């Protein structure tokens, strides 16, 4: 029996959807990590992944039986500018596996060598971004956010050259419901290839949105469902203080997962205008802009789907516009519900939206750590002393003025503390901890990576032995910038 039960539906799409090619071998593969629980969900024996044969294909030095490797074609708006041809430049899809839960998932190697879409890049990935993606994507999964997953990571024994100099290389095995993006549709729309658009939409409906098939207009139903998933996703990100950092349309997943962890980061001190990415000079992808930007990305999807929405172009435009116009209210509802829960409110009532707005303003003005604030507030709801929470603020008087209003509102709730403990994590992948894990891994020590990963697998649970991982960075530990690392 093959080690992996591949069933590769994307590889059965028309040939101009991708380029078939194998990963480029590396000199000396070495295992970094295997995600045993995820392997098990995919019915892959974790022992196989740790074996010499497993490590060989994880590094791209061999192909697992049943794989049909390919690099997918896609386009995308990068920082608002349209690039008609991007594609997998350093990722190779090995194929798809249907897991124990019946869900079909892509198995992809990132950093597996050049492809026809590498555009001058080396097709490789340094170790740092692999460690970051492994930690942050698994943390997202632990936090309950739809996300691509890390199945395994290996070092290559090969150096990659970046602006900062020579870095150790790595390959990550990534799992996603699929790697189809808004940019996948844009690729064919830009070429007026309506037949391909239709084939892709059919594939997406069958694979990700089967309920849309029964609708009067299945493509419209699919578009609406993508919009709904993304409104919930971006609201979840914001509730955790997550800043994706590079929300280009090629990084906007059609199944609605968090994808591409290049310059992403969780913020420490709350600031709605916070940006980490070194290339986001104008704050396009700042924390507080993410709802608007997702809507913009979804408008690009709607635009690409126009030829499939209706025969009459005016009618198609009307349907697309209405679907996209539905985003703000879906997002606002998810945003309000989510932040209400963080404050201990189970059912949103009149006045709660104002309380949320005032809370966020208070947090920004008062200068408080986002995660510590909500966790401290959870302790307050349990009957804890507010003075500890007050001490987290640079300007405690701003907090003191806000507190009575919250106390009054939450007094009407049955189990505010219980609700808050479920939605306010104790642990997030703090940037300085991720950076620490990366630095250590570069020096050959995987201990900090493994410890951080273990802590983040139970983010909502108090872990007294790991209390140090709760802490905000000291000023000298603070990470101010993140890099795509490409």
Distance between CA atoms of residues 363 and 453, nearest Å:
29
Q: Does 251 bind Mg ion (CB under 5 A)?
A: yes
Query: Least Å distance between CB 87 and ligand AMP?
Result: 5
Instruction: List Cβ neighbours of 457 (8 Å cut-off, separation of 6 or more).
Output: 138, 142
Query: Of these partners, ligand AMP, Mg ion, none, which one is at the site of residue 486 (CB under 5 to 8 Å by kind)?
Result: ligand AMP
Query: Of these partners, Mg ion, ligand AMP, none, which one is at the site of residue 88 (CB under 5 to 8 Å by kind)?
Result: ligand AMP
Query: Of these partners, ligand AMP, Mg ion, none, which one is at the site of residue 121 (CB under 5 to 8 Å by kind)?
Result: ligand AMP
Query: Least Å distance between CB 110 and ligand AMP?
Result: 9
Query: Of these partners, ligand AMP, Mg ion, none, which one is at the site of residue 116 (CB under 5 to 8 Å by kind)?
Result: none
- Assign 471 to helix, strand or coil: coil
Instruction: List Cβ neighbours of 411 (8 Å cut-off, separation of 6 or more).
Output: none
Q: Which is nearer to ligand AMP, 116 or 367 (CB)?
A: 116
Query: Least Å distance between CB 260 and Mg ion?
Result: 4
* Total binding residues toward Mg ion, as defined by CB under 5 A: 2
Q: Does 125 bind Mg ion (CB under 5 A)?
A: no
Using alpha carbons, select from 124, 95, 90, 126 the residue that is nearest to residue 108: 95
Query: Least Å distance between CB 71 and ligand AMP?
Result: 8
10 Å CB burial of residue 191 (0-12, 13-18, 19+) is middle
Q: Which is nearer to ligand AMP, 140 or 423 (CB)?
A: 140
Distance between CA atoms of residues 239 and 336, nearest Å:
10
Find the helix packing angle between 352-366 and 327-342, rounded to 10°: 70
Distance between CA atoms of residues 10 and 203, nearest Å:
8
Site residues, ligand AMP (CB under 6 A):
86-90, 117-118, 121-124, 246, 250-251, 260, 262, 484, 486
Q: Which is nearer to ligand AMP, 60 or 87 (CB)?
A: 87
Distance between CA atoms of residues 179 and 59, nearest Å:
20
Q: Does 108 bind Mg ion (CB under 5 A)?
A: no
Q: Which is nearer to ligand AMP, 228 or 484 (CB)?
A: 484
Q: Does 260 bind Mg ion (CB under 5 A)?
A: yes
- Assign 249 to helix, strand or coil: helix
Query: Least Å distance between CB 4 and Mg ion?
Result: 25
Q: Which stretch binds Mg ion (CB under 5 A): 35-43, 77-85, 250-258, 268-276?
A: 250-258
* Active site (annotated) includes residue 106: no
Q: Which is nearer to Mg ion, 147 or 359 (CB)?
A: 147
Catalytic site residue from 88, 106, 250, 260: 250
Q: Which stretch binds Mg ion (CB under 5 A): 63-71, 129-137, 221-229, 244-252?
A: 244-252
Q: Which is nearer to ligand AMP, 175 or 340 (CB)?
A: 175
Distance between CA atoms of residues 124 and 91, nearest Å:
8
Q: How many angstroms separate the Cα of 393 from the Cα of each of 254, 359, 398, 471?
A: 40, 13, 8, 14
Task: Identify any residues that bridge with 93 across adjacent strands, giving them in sequence order.
Answer: 70, 108
Find the helix packing angle between 127-143 and 447-456, rounded to 10°: 20
Query: Least Å distance between CB 128 and ligand AMP?
Result: 13
Q: Which stretch binds Mg ion (CB under 5 A): 50-58, 172-180, 259-267, 472-480?
A: 259-267
Q: Does 470 bind Mg ion (CB under 5 A)?
A: no
DSSP 472: P
Query: Of these partners, ligand AMP, Mg ion, none, which one is at the site of residue 89 (CB under 5 to 8 Å by kind)?
Result: ligand AMP
Query: Least Å distance between CB 397 and ligand AMP?
Result: 43
Q: Does 133 bind Mg ion (CB under 5 A)?
A: no
- Assign 211 to helix, strand or coil: helix
Find the helix packing angle between 327-342 and 416-423, rounded to 10°: 120
Helix (H) or strand (E) holding 481: none
**Residues labelled as active-site residues:** 250
Kindly list the residues in this chain that would bind Mg ion in the complex (CB under 5 A). 251, 260
């Amino acid at each position: 029996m093959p080690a992996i039960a591949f069933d590769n539906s994307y590889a059965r799409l028309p040939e101009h959807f991708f380029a078939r090619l194998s990963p480029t071998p590396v000199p000396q593969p070495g295992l970094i990590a295997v995600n045993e629980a995820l392997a098990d969900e995919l019915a892959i024996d974790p022992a196989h992944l740790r074996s010499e044969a497993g490590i060989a294909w994880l590094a791209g030095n061999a192909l697992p039986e049943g794989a049909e490797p390919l690099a997918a074609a896609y386009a995308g708006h990068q920082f608002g500018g349209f690039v008609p041809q991007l594609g997998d430049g350093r990722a190779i899809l090995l194929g798809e596996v249907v897991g124990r839960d019946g869900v079909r998932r892509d198995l992809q190697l990132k950093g597996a060598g050049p492809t026809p879409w590498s555009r001058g890049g080396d097709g490789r990935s340094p170790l740092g971004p692999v460690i970051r993606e492994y930690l942050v994507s698994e943390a997202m999964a632990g936090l309950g956010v739809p996300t691509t997953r890390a199945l395994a990571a290996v070092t290559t024994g090969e150096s990659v050259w970046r602006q900062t100099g020579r870095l150790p290389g790595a390959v990550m095995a990534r799992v996603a419901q699929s790697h189809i993006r808004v940019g996948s549709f844009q690729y064919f729309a830009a070429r007026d290839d309506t037949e391909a658009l239709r084939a892709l939409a059919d594939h997406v409906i069958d694979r990700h949105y089967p309920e849309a098939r029964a609708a009067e207009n299945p493509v419209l139903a699919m578009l609406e469902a993508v919009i709904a998933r993304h409104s919930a996703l971006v609201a979840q990100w914001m509730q955790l203080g997550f800043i994706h950092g590079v929300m280009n349309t090629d990084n906007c997943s059609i199944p609605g997962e968090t994808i591409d962890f290049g310059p992403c980061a969780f913020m420490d001190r709350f600031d709605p205008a916070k940006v980490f990415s070194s290339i986001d000079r104008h704050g396009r992808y700042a924390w507080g802009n993410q709802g608007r930007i997702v809507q913009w990305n979804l408008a690009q999807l709607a635009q690409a789907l126009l030829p499939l929405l209706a025969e009459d172009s005016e009618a198609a435009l009307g349907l697309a516009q209405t679907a996209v116009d539905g985003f703000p209210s879906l997002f606002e509802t998810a945003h309000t519900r989510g932040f209400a829960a963080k404050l201990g409110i189970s059912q949103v009532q009149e006045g709660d939206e104002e309380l949320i707005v005032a809370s966020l303003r208070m947090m920004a003005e008062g200068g408080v750590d986002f995660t510590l604030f909500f966790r401290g507030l959870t302790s307050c709801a349990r009957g804890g002393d507010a003075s500890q929470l007050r001490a987290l603020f640079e300007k405690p008087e701003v907090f003191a003025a806000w507190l009575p209003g919250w106390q009054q509102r939450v007094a009407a709730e049955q189990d505010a503390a219980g609700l808050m403990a479920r939605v306010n994590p104790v642990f997030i992948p703090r940037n300085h901890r991720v950076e620490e894990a990366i630095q250590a891994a570069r020096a050959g020590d995987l201990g900090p990576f493994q410890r951080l990963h273990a802590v983040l697998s139970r983010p909502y649970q108090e872990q007294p032995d790991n209390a140090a991982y709760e802490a905000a960075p000291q000023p000298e530990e603070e990470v101010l910038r993140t890099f795509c690392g490409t």
